[in-house]
Amino acid sequence: MVELGKDCDVMIHDATTAADLEEKANMYGHSSSSQAADMAKRANAGKLFLTHISPRYEDIAQLEADAKAIFDNSQVAEDFLEYQIKYKD
């Protein structure tokens, strides 16, 4: 997966749980926010958007904080979010 995302401008990644429930997420084929951030860091992504958040989280701040501790340019993608990708010559 790292090779597929290598040097991408934006990575959109499943982040079903916070880091403390990583094993549970993995059991069901999902990722934690920290795993998503690690993938973005290893791929040298420009920006990471976390998606597919479990409804158990009323406050998504912890997921974003877990990710930012590993890959600073992380953000939880919320409904109707718009993001402009700047053209590179």
Per-residue pLDDT of the chain (89 residues; tens, 9 = 90+): 889 999 999 999 999 999 899 899 999 999 999 999 999 999 999 999 999 999 999 889 999 999 999 999 999 999 999 999 988 77
User: Half-sphere exposure (CA, 13 Å, Cβ side) for 32?
Assistant: 19
Identify the pLDDT of residue 88.
76
Identify the pLDDT of residue 47.
98
DSSP, res 85: P
For 42-80, the three-class secondary structure string (H helix, E strand, C coil) is HHCCCEEEEECCCCCCCCCHHHHHHHHCCCCCEEECCCC
Identify the pLDDT of residue 43.
98
Distance CA 55, CA 47 (A): 24
pTM assigned to the model: 0.91
